[in-house]
Amino acid sequence: MKYASLIFILLLLFINTDAQTAKDFAADWDKQHFSKIPPSNLRHADLKKQLDELKKLGLKIQEAGRSYDDREIYQIEWGKGATRIFMWSQMHGDEPTATTALLDMLAYLQKNRSKTWVKELENSLTIRAVPMLNPDGAELFQRRNLQAIDINRDAAALETPEGRLLKKLRDDWSPDIGFNLHNQGSLTTVGNTARQATISFLAVLGNAEGKTNDGHERNKRICAVMISALENFIKGHIGRYDDSYNPRAFGDMISAWGTPVILIETGALHDKNEMFLVKLNFVAYLSALKSLVDKSEGKADAKIYESLPFNNSGSLYNFIFRNANIINFAENLEPFTADISINVERRRASEAAPTYIREIGDLSIFSGLDEYDVKDFYLIPRNGLLRVGASGEFLFYKKTREVDWTVKDLEKAFPPDAVFSNGKWTKGGKLLEKVSK
């Protein structure tokens, strides 16, 4: 009896170390992730160092081609199975999350090859991954390549070396599935809600007529698997990307050329950092790959994908200041009441992200990730002039104060009670009432 329970405990331990569920993948990522720096800070030189480390783990890594500015573009291969999986990231230079997630996934698979389920993946799949297809754009943290061409509109013209390489890698190998990995705006929302679309999926059709095929139907089921996995962490924050056929876009054309593509767009989640998004990608990829091998994909319900709300935009801002008593002192001293919204531009984690005024007026139908009711304050544009597109820097004065707005150096003569600059309170933020949601 004693032995029986001991064996049972050992068995449980054995099962627990053999990760299978989305939560297990996430826990494993927490413990084992290979990446050390936020994806937006990862430069091409950093990527090369990380690939050297992956090589030491035994991963097959080759230079696949060069960018317009002669930077190396690499392809990593893992597995020896019959099903060919092609994954590429950062075709847009300022969309880096998946690059890091791919490195984390491949390092994890390579390090855990002794586990039964990983062995099954290794024997069933061959994965080829191109992390950072657009290294010149990544270096500048810009969408386009160095010719200022959007590589994702170059699938037909093939004017960019990066686009030509992507097509060649596909054509030489004819993968069974393609994963086209991008980032979307952090203010993209799920349907008509104010919820950020943290991850959005699209099973790409690849034809203008809207005709489905086996590969497309399979990809919808794979999306369903990934959605179910991610709902453990971001329920309500998953969207569906709009499928409008574009004969210049790689997702559509790679599907049309015979490799049905799944598009994954990573957005953001308020108060969560980039590494959380990397983890979500890691969980999604592994859930998808495992479902192909254990055949659970075949039983997945495509309706889980089909019933996702479409992505939306324009209803959410980074910040809203409600009921502000605005004094535009550079042109008029008469206060007026309005709401003001501020958005933050996309930058590397290591750089300050500029903010700009997006809207002024009645914003009652919109939401902000952070909202403040500032009815008890005067809101003063730091440079004295309120304009849409101007930087979102404000001084706040309690309405009970007597201030001469015409004085030369206002901030010095009348120190403000609170200051909002570059998306942060640099003074007195606690005085303002945050709107709870």
Please choose, out of 33-41, 104-112, 177-185, 343-351, the segment that lies near Zn ion by the rule CB under 5 A: 177-185
Nearest alpha-carbon partner for 394 in 327, 294, 348: 327
Rounded distance, CA 174 to CA 171, Å? 5
**Least distance (Å) from Zn ion to the CB of residue 118?**
30
179 close to 261: Cβ distance less than 8 angstroms: yes
- Taking CB under 5 A as the criterion, which residues in 29-68 touch Zn ion? none
Question: Would you say 125 or 264 has its CB closer to Zn ion?
Answer: 264
**Least distance (Å) from Zn ion to the CB of residue 146?**
17
Question: Would you say 95 or 154 has its CB closer to Zn ion?
Answer: 95
> What Rg do the C-alpha atoms of the chain give, in angstroms?
25
Question: Would you say 139 or 376 has its CB closer to Zn ion?
Answer: 139
Binding status of residue 122 toward Zn ion by CB under 5 A:
no
**Least distance (Å) from Zn ion to the CB of residue 99?**
12
**Least distance (Å) from Zn ion to the CB of residue 188?**
12
In the set 92, 128, 167, 170, which binds Zn ion (CB under 5 A)? 92
196 close to 183: Cβ distance less than 8 angstroms: no
**Least distance (Å) from Zn ion to the CB of residue 182?**
3
Compose the 66-85 pattern: x for residues touching Zn ion by CB under 5 A, - for all others.
Answer: --------------------
In the set 71, 182, 218, 221, which binds Zn ion (CB under 5 A)? 182
- Taking CB under 5 A as the criterion, which residues in 305-364 touch Zn ion? none
How many residues lie near Zn ion (CB under 5 A)? 3
In the set 28, 94, 95, 104, which binds Zn ion (CB under 5 A)? 95
Question: Would you say 245 or 366 has its CB closer to Zn ion?
Answer: 245
Nearest residue to the partner Zn ion, using Cβ: 182
**Least distance (Å) from Zn ion to the CB of residue 334?**
45
Question: Would you say 95 or 136 has its CB closer to Zn ion?
Answer: 95
Question: Would you say 239 or 423 has its CB closer to Zn ion?
Answer: 239
197 close to 280: Cβ distance less than 8 angstroms: no
Please choose, out of 81-89, 168-176, 180-188, 238-246, the segment that lies near Zn ion by the rule CB under 5 A: 180-188
**Least distance (Å) from Zn ion to the CB of residue 143?**
7
* CB neighbourhood size of 363 (10 A): 19
Q: Report the DSSP pairing between strands 261-266 and 177-183.
A: parallel
Please choose, out of 176-184, 206-214, 248-256, 305-313, the segment that lies near Zn ion by the rule CB under 5 A: 176-184
Please choose, out of 181-189, 190-198, 281-289, 290-298, the segment that lies near Zn ion by the rule CB under 5 A: 181-189
**Least distance (Å) from Zn ion to the CB of residue 185?**
10
Question: Would you say 19 or 130 has its CB closer to Zn ion?
Answer: 130
367 close to 315: Cβ distance less than 8 angstroms: yes
**Least distance (Å) from Zn ion to the CB of residue 144?**
11
Q: What are the residues binding Zn ion (CB under 5 A)?
A: 92, 95, 182
